[in-house]
């Protein structure tokens, strides 16, 4: 496809560097105006989400510079708090107003007790977490480098590991009962697959965190409706030559996927949303389309934004074609003086996506909203310290 045809496809649907006006919501989700300004749209009762994956205790230490071998150094700050991808994402979802249930496993040690207490205090239902007699709860040492703004994680898995037999049939059925969404972080794959199969039987959509290749991940991907990927995963999983062509490949290989998002850190994110190819006449090279999106994006905007193409046939050379839209989201430009720790940024992004899906938020609003939540969270030490609530003034413009 020629670049000219790509530009033509874009012009059929105007861009906006700001989040567009919200589409009409169901009566239960419309917001009311008050003398103090716009109120947030009330959440419906249909907001139960189930997550299965890792929970840990995080021991965080920030240092001026990362130590060299055999060095001794002192921390500039420290914190002990709950962690783990699933634990963090569902904590984020709870603070935003959802009702999360978490399936995982800890031991009956002091660390496990602390993990459960913290989750419950944040509104996450921990009654489906298995507590083993003896063994050890999972924990992670995290070293945050103040100079480079990077973090290094040293994880110790819990023992004994979770197996499907740990989750009784009655617990499984109770966990997914009334759920709007089911989410997996890619761990505990044998147990996760049992839950995913039950969710599929009930028609409950599944969101998968595809951070890296893991045992059993392909089975979960095949049942998923939504995928959130780390920067390297799409190309690693598909072998495609570019990120965008890899996204096309994923939608071709995984026909149940409605959209796939790849997060790119400070470079934002890219989303490929599937649409029906019937009636789509124009075919556009997906790599050229991304270039055109970047050209239209306002690089001077500090807050997260999103630009989107119209619905076209997206072609990846040597891979195939899929009907859909390509969306490019930006990340917040956080001043260096405010950036503290990126631990859990991806988890908070996913927790925000869960909220967005439960509130029928359109993708053009969903991506900037999730990026803003992640940006807020990066301003504090640890994966949960900075997680905002819906009432946070920094989120209001993204929600009303």
pLDDT at 301: 84
Q: Give phi and psi for 39, each to the nearest 5.
A: -90, 155
If one counts every other C-beta atom within 10 angstroms of the C-beta of residue 263, the result is 25
Instruction: Say how far apart CA 35 and CA 67 lie, in whole Å.
Output: 54
Give the H/E segment covering residue 327: strand 320-329
pLDDT at 279: 79
pLDDT at 235: 97
Rounded mean pLDDT for each run of 10 residues along the chain, 400 residues in total: 42 35 32 48 80 96 94 95 97 97 97 97 97 96 93 95 95 96 96 98 97 94 98 97 98 98 96 88 94 86 93 96 96 94 96 96 96 96 95 91
Q: How many CA atoms lie less than 13 Å away from 111 in the CB half-sphere?
A: 23
Instruction: Say how far apart CA 391 and CA 380 lie, in whole Å.
Output: 18
Query: Which of helix, strand or coil describes residue 120?
Result: helix
Cα dihedral 127, 130, 131, 135, rounded to 10, equals -160
| 348: preceding bond cis by omega (within 30 degrees) | no
pLDDT at 39: 65
Instruction: Say how far apart CA 358 and CA 257 lie, in whole Å.
Output: 17
pLDDT at 38: 59
Residue showing tokens 């310290």: 385
pTM of the complete model: 0.88
Instruction: Say how far apart CA 14 and CA 12 lie, in whole Å.
Output: 6
* CA-closest candidate to residue 227, choices 243, 203, 197, 251: 251
Rounded to the nearest angstrom, the gap between the alpha carbon of residue 20 and the centroid of all alpha carbons in its chain is 21
């Amino acid at each position: 496809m020629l670049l000219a045809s790509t530009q033509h496809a874009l012009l059929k649907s105007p861009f906006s560097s700001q989040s567009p006006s919200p589409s009409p919501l169901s009566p239960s989700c419309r917001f009311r105006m008050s003398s103090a300004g716009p109120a947030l749209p009330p959440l419906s009762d249909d907001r139960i989400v189930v997550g299965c994956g890792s929970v840990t205790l995080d021991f965080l230490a920030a240092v001026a510079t990362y130590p060299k071998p055999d060095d001794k150094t002192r921390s500039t700050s420290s914190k002990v708090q709950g962690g783990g991808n699933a634990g963090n994402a569902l904590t984020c979802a709870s603070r935003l107003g959802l009702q999360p249930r978490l399936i995982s496993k800890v031991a009956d040690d002091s660390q496990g007790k602390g993990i459960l207490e913290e989750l419950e205090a944040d509104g996450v239902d921990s009654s489906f977490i298995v507590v083993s007699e003896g063994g050890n709860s999972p924990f992670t040492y995290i070293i945050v480098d103040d100079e480079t703004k990077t973090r290094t994680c040293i994880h110790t898995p819990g023992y004994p590991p979770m197996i499907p037999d740990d989750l009784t049939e009655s617990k499984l059925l109770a966990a997914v009962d009334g759920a709007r969404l089911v989410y997996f972080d890619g761990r505990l794959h044998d147990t996760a697959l049992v839950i995913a199969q039950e969710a599929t039987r009930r028609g409950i959509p599944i969101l998968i965190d595809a951070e890296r290749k893991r045992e059993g991940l392909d089975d979960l991907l095949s049942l998923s409706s939504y995928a959130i990927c780390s920067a390297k995963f799409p190309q690693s999983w598909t072998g495609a030559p570019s990120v965008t062509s890899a996204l096309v490949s994923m939608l071709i290989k995984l026909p149940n996927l409605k959209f796939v998002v790849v997060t790119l850190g400070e470079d934002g994110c890219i989303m490929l949303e599937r649409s029906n190819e019937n009636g789509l006449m124009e075919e556009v090279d997906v790599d050229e389309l991304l270039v055109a999106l970047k050209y239209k994006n306002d690089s001077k905007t500090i807050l997260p934004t999103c630009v989107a193409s119209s619905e076209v046939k997206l072609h990846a050379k040597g891979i195939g074609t899929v009907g859909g839209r390509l969306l490019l989201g930006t990340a917040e430009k956080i001043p260096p003086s405010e950036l503290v720790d990126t631990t859990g940024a991806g988890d908070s992004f996913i927790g925000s996506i869960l909220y967005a899906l439960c509130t029928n938020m359109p993708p053009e609003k969903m991506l900037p909203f999730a990026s803003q939540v992640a940006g807020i969270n990066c301003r504090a030490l640890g994966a949960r310290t900075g997680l905002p609530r819906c009432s946070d003034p920094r989120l209001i413009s993204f929600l009303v």
